[in-house]
Structure 1
Amino acid sequence: MEQHDLSIREEALVLLRRGVTNRAVADRLNVPRGTVGWWRHEDRKKRGEKFEHPTDCPKCTGRGFDREAYSYLLGLYLGDGHIISKPKQHHLSIFCTDTWPGLINAAESAMRHVMSLPSVRRRQRQGCVEVKSYTQHWTCMFPQHGPGKKHERKIVLEPWQREIVDAHPWAFIRGLIHSDGCRNMNWTTRLVSGERKRYEYPRYWFTNVSDDIRQLYTDTLDKVGVEWKHCTRAGKPYNISVAKRASVALMDAHVGPKY
C-alpha cells in the first residue's frame, strides 16, 4: 500500500467523522478509495465504534413507504420469492421467467419503491431471471420468513400487512398471479342446432401448495367481488380457478396477462 503523509490521513479522518463518504474523501484528497476505507476501518476499531450499514427499512426507521408496491411485492414473495438470511449473506430473491420481461422490471421496481438503499441486481439462470435485493432488513418486511418451505409452516399476515393488503387488494392479487398464476384460454364444446362447436373462454389460474397462501388469495378475491372455485388436478387441490365472465373481466381490468 502506498504510504501517505500523516497530515493527509488526519484530514481524511476528520472528513470521515463528519459523515463525508469514502468516495468523496478519496476524490478530494487524491487517495485511493481502498486506502480511505482502510483508514476508516482502523479509526473505528481504535475508537471501539461498531459499524452498522445504513438502512431505510420502514419497520426499523418508521419512515413512510410505497404501500401499493409493497402489497404487490408481498404477493411475489409468497409465490416465487425467498429470503436468504445468514451471518454474511442477506438478500430477497424473486424468480421471474425469461419470457416475461415486464414482470422482471416490475419486481425490481417494487423492491426499489419499498427500500431504495439496498442494491438490486439481476442474475440470469436457466430459463429465468433472479431479481435480488441485498439487505438483512427484508426479514423485517416479510416476517413470514423462516426455515423450510413455505407450505411446511404457517403463513399468517401481521396486522400491519393485513391493513396494506386491505387497502391495496388488487396489487396483492396481481403479485400472486404474476408469481404462481396465469391467464390462459380454455375450451369446451357445445351443441348448437344439433352441431357440436368449439367454444373458447379465458380463465385465470393460481396454483400454490400452501393452504394458507391459497386462503389469502381467495379471501382477497372475495373482498373485490371475484368468483372463484377450487379445481383438483391429479388428486391435488392446489388450483384456484376464476372463469366466470364478469370475474374474468374484473381480473383483466386490474391484473391482466403477464408480459
Structure 2
Amino acid sequence: MLTLLRDGARNADVARQFNIPLGTVSHWKHADRATRGECPGRTPPPCPRCDGDLDSPAYAYLLGLYLGDGYIIQNRAMRSPSLSITCDESHPGLMDECENAMRSVFPNNSVCRVRRKGCRDLKLYSMHLWCLFPQHGPGKKHDRTIALEPWQQAIVDAHPWEFIRGLIHSDGCRITNWTTRLVAGERKRYEYPRYFFSNKSDDIRKLFTNALDRVGVEWTTLARGSDPFNISVARKASVALMDTHVGPKH
C-alpha cells in the first residue's frame, strides 16, 4: 500500500482497493512522509539557548519566577511540555512582567493565561523547556536537589537583580512593620519596610542569598517555628537597594 502511495496513487483509490477507511490511508501516508522527512509544514522553532540569541536579563527574571511558582508538565495528550507560572490576580502588573519575560525568552511561542481560583497560570508550550529549565524533575522542588548549570550561573552572575526580582515576585513580598518607642515620655509609633523571601527548598534559599551577597544586600534568616524558611532584608540601606531594583509587587 505504501508503495502505491509513494508512486503517486490517490488516497481514495488506495482506500477502495484495500477496502479500508480513507482517513486510515491519509494517516499512514502522513506518518510515512514524516518518517522520511518529507512532511510539509513550518520548521520547528529553534531553541532559544542552543540555536538562538537568548535574552539573558529576561531569562534571569523568568528563572527566578520558575524556581518560586513555576512548574513544567507533560502528559500523553500533549506533544510538547508546558511551562506554567502561577500569579496572584491581585498583581496584574506582575502578570504583565511575567508574560513579557516569557515572550522575550521564547519569541516563537504563544503565551496564554489560564484562569484559576484567585490566580492565573501564564502558560506556554515548547519542546525546548527541558533545555532551558534543567531543574525540572519529579516531585516537589524542596524534595530534590536544585542546582544551576554553569551557563545558568553565568547569567545569574551577570544579571543578579533580575534573578532576585523573579524570586521576590514569586515567593517574596515587601511589607511594612511597625514598633513603638518611648520618646520624652511619649510613646511614638515608627514604621519601617522590609522584604521577605520564603521557600522550603534549602537550595533555592541559598541561590537567593548568594545573589543578595553579590549585590551587597544584607540579610538574615528567620525561623518559622523550627524551620528556617524565611529570608529577611530589614537594614535601611539594603531595603533602599531592594526598593531601587525590585520594589513591591503590583
Structure 1 position 71, deviation (Å) = 0.1
1:78 and 2:67 correspond: yes
- List per-residue Cα deviations over 1:189-235 (Å, max 9, x = no partner): 11211222211100001000000000000010000000000011222
Structure 1 position 53, deviation (Å) = 6.6
| One-letter amino acid of the structure 2 residue matched with residue 55 of structure 1 | P
TM superposition outliers: structure 1 runs of 4+ over 4 Å: 38-41, 50-53
**Aligned match of 2:46:** 56
- Unaligned ranges ≥5, structure 1: 1-8, 11-37
1:143 pairs, out of 116, 134, 145, with: 134
- Unaligned ranges ≥5, structure 2: 1-7, 10-24
1:170 and 2:161 correspond: yes
Distance in 2, matches of 1:81 and 1:250, equals 26
- List per-residue Cα deviations over 1:84-117 (Å, max 9, x = no partner): 1334431000000001001111111111111112
User: CA 1:186–1:142 in structure 2 vs 1: closer, same or farther (change >3 Å)?
Assistant: same
Structure 1 position 188, deviation (Å) = 1.1
Structure 1 position 39, deviation (Å) = 7.2
| One-letter amino acid of the structure 1 residue matched with residue 92 of structure 2 | P
**Aligned match of 1:127:** 118
Contact residue 56 and residue 115 of structure 1 kept, 8 A: no
User: CA 1:39–1:212 in structure 2 vs 1: closer, same or farther (change >3 Å)?
Assistant: same
- List per-residue Cα deviations over 1:41-76 (Å, max 9, x = no partner): 835624733569712212342x21110000000000
Larger CA deviation: 91-100 vs 41-50 = 41-50
- List per-residue Cα deviations over 1:108-145 (Å, max 9, x = no partner): 11111111122211001000010001113111101000
Larger CA deviation: 166-175 vs 38-47 = 38-47
TM-score (norm 1): 0.80
Matching of residues 38-53 of structure 1 within 5 Å: 42-43=29-30, 45-46=32-33, 48-49=35-36
User: CA 1:47–1:98 in structure 2 vs 1: closer, same or farther (change >3 Å)?
Assistant: closer
User: CA 1:146–1:258 in structure 2 vs 1: closer, same or farther (change >3 Å)?
Assistant: same
Distance in 1, matches of 2:100 and 2:231, equals 28
| One-letter amino acid of the structure 1 residue matched with residue 35 of structure 2 | G
Distance in 2, matches of 1:56 and 1:40, equals 27
1:195 and 2:186 correspond: yes
TM-score (norm 2): 0.83
Distance in 1, matches of 2:190 and 2:177, equals 8
SS of the equivalent of 1:118 reads coil
- Count of residues in Structure 1 that have an aligned counterpart in Structure 2: 223
| One-letter amino acid of the structure 2 residue matched with residue 97 of structure 1 | D
**Aligned match of 1:246:** 237
Distance in 2, matches of 1:189 and 1:178, equals 30
Distance in 2, matches of 1:39 and 1:145, equals 37
